[in-house]
Amino acid sequence: MTYEVDAKRGVANHYGVRTTDGSKGAAAPSTGIIKRAQWDFSYDNLPAAGTNNLQFVIPANATVVSAKLYVDVAFTSTSTTTDLVVGLYTGAGVAIDADGLVSASEATQTAIGTAGNVVTGAGALVGKTIGASAGEVVVAPTVDDLLTGKARLVVEYVYDKN
């Protein structure tokens, strides 16, 4: 499969078989003024900021209402100190807040090590605006030794276009 990105119009065309990569995020069913986005990812395909225009973007000046991490398959690692951090970055890879959605103290090895757990994020961006830059979700382990694991991240936000 091939992507062609038109930088002038900011659109991407695809050619060939199209696969779904949930780690890039997508809009999820929303109600009222609260918008919802979801990222589905595994230990070896974590959401990352990118310059290919494929990542779902939380608009600039949006206010994050909530962030929840649903553990579908337990995360394991070669150590007992691997936690996850979930934050927002610009498309250029500059941190807005590296753990602003879910911090390492919330997504601990114990919390992410059991399938079915729900980790409710209380990072610095939850309940606040993300600022003047649009944000792309980045999930990173505190120690780079993950062996297994799958999760879904659901972020609810409010964005007033006016």
pLDDT per position as a tens digit, 103-154: 999 999 999 999 999 999 999 999 999 999 999 999 999 999 999 999 999 9
Give CATH for domain 22-158: 2.60.120
Greater confidence (13 vs 56) lies with 56
Checking if the pLDDT of 97 tops 70, the result is yes
- Average pLDDT over the chain, rounded to whole? 87
Report CA 114 to chain centroid distance, whole Å: 20
Greater confidence (83 vs 6) lies with 83
C-beta separation of 149 from 84 below 8 A = no
pLDDT per position as a tens digit, 3-40: 566 655 555 555 555 455 677 778 888 888 999 999 99
Please indicate, yes or no, whether the overall pTM of this predicted structure exceeds 0.75.
Answer: yes
Task: Report the pLDDT value the prediction gives residue 80, as an integer from 0 to 100.
Answer: 82
Question: For residues 1 and 18, what is the distance between their CA atoms, to the nearest angstrom?
Answer: 7
Side by side, which strands form the sheet with 63-77? Answer: 26-31, 34-42, 146-158, 63-77, 118-120
